[in-house]
C-alpha cells in the first residue's frame, strides 16, 4: 500500500516537473494577450489611419452653405478629398493640397483639424475659388450638394453629421480666421497682389 502511494506521488512529481514550463508559458501567454486586448480596446476607438508611414488628412470644402464632393477612383462613391501628409508638410497644408488636386478648389482653411473620424484628421476649407480645370478632372467628378443630401451617402455620413455642426459654429466665428493658402492660388495661375511703391517725386500743385 505504501509503495503504491509512493509510486503515485513520484509519477505526479515527474509530470509536474516536465509540464511546469508548458503551464507557465500558457499562463504568461494568456495574461499578455489579455493586456494587449485591454490596450487595443483603449486605443482602438481612435486609431490613426496610416499608409506607407503617412497619416491621413481629409478636407471638407464648403461654399455658401453647400458642400463639395468628388467620386472615388475605384468604387465611384462620393467622398471628400483626402490623402497622406507629405514629409515636411503641415496637416492643413496637405488637406488643402488634396482639395486643389482632386477637386480643383482653393480657399481658406482652418489650421487645426476639427475632428478625427475613421482614423483621418478632417479640416474645413472655405472655398473662395472653383477652378474649371484641375489635375484629376479626367478621373473625378466634382459635385456641389446641400448638407442634407450629402447625408444619403453612407461613406461620408459620419463626417457630414459633424460638418453640419461645424458649419453652424464656424460661419458664426469671428476669432481665429482661416488661413489663406497663397501658394495654392499662385500655382493655379492667380497672381499675388503686390503693394504699390510710393512715388519719389511729389506732384506739382
Counted residue by residue, the chain has a size of 205
Residue 64 lies in a domain: yes
Q: What angle do CA 109, 147, 94 make, to 5 degrees?
A: 25
Q: What is the largest CA-CA distance in the chain?
A: 134
Q: What angle do CA 131, 133, 137 make, to 5 degrees?
A: 115
- Provide the number of structural domains found in the chain: 1
- Considering only CA atoms, give the Rg of the chain: 30
Q: State pTM to two decimals.
A: 0.57
Residue 3 lies in a domain: no
Residue 35 lies in a domain: no
**Kind of pairing, strands 105-109 and 120-130?**
antiparallel
Residue 203 lies in a domain: no
Grid cell locating 145: 450638394
pLDDT tier at 34, thresholds 50, 70, 90: very low
Say which DSSP state 73 is in: S
Residue 109 lies in a domain: yes
Cα–Cα distances (Å) from 36 to 32, 118, 187, in that order, read: 6, 21, 48
Residue 34 lies in a domain: no
For 65-97, write each residue's pLDDT tens digit: 888 999 888 777 888 999 999 888 999 999 999
CATH no. for residue 128?
3.90.79.10
pLDDT above 90 covers a percentage of the chain that reads 26
**Taking a C-beta distance cutoff of 8 angstroms, is the pair 163, 147 a contact?**
yes
Domain that holds residue 161: 50-187
For 126-170, write each residue's pLDDT tens digit: 999 999 999 999 989 999 988 778 777 655 676 766 666 666 565
Q: Which of 159, 160, 169, 180 is nearest to 56 (CA)?
A: 159
Amino acid at each position: 500500500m505504501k509503495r503504491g502511494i509512493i509510486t503515485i506521488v513520484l509519477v505526479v512529481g515527474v509530470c509536474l516537473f516536465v509540464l511546469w514550463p508548458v503551464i507557465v508559458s500558457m499562463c504568461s501567454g494568456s495574461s499578455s494577450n489579455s493586456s494587449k486586448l485591454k490596450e487595443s480596446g483603449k486605443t482602438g476607438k481612435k486609431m490613426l489611419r496610416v499608409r506607407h508611414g503617412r497619416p491621413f488628412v481629409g478636407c471638407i470644402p464648403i461654399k455658401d452653405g453647400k458642400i463639395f464632393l468628388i467620386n472615388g477612383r475605384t468604387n465611384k462613391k462620393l467622398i471628400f478629398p483626402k490623402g497622406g501628409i507629405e514629409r515636411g508638410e503641415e496637416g492643413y497644408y496637405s488637406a488643402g493640397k488634396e482639395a486643389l488636386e482632386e477637386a480643383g478648389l482653393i480657399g481658406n482653411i482652418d489650421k487645426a483639424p476639427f475632428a478625427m473620424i475613421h482614423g483621418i484628421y478632417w479640416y474645413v476649407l472655405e472655398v473662395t475659388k472653383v477652378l474649371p480645370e484641375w489635375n484629376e478632372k479626367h478621373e473625378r467628378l466634382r459635385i456641389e450638394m446641400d448638407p442634407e443630401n450629402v447625408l444619403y451617402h453612407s461613406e461620408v455620413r459620419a463626417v457630414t453629421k459633424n460638418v453640419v455642426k461645424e458649419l453652424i459654429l464656424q460661419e458664426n466665428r469671428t476669432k481665429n480666421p482661416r488661413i489663406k493658402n497663397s501658394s495654392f492660388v499662385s500655382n493655379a495661375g492667380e497672381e499675388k497682389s503686390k503693394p504699390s511703391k510710393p512715388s519719389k517725386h511729389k506732384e506739382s500743385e
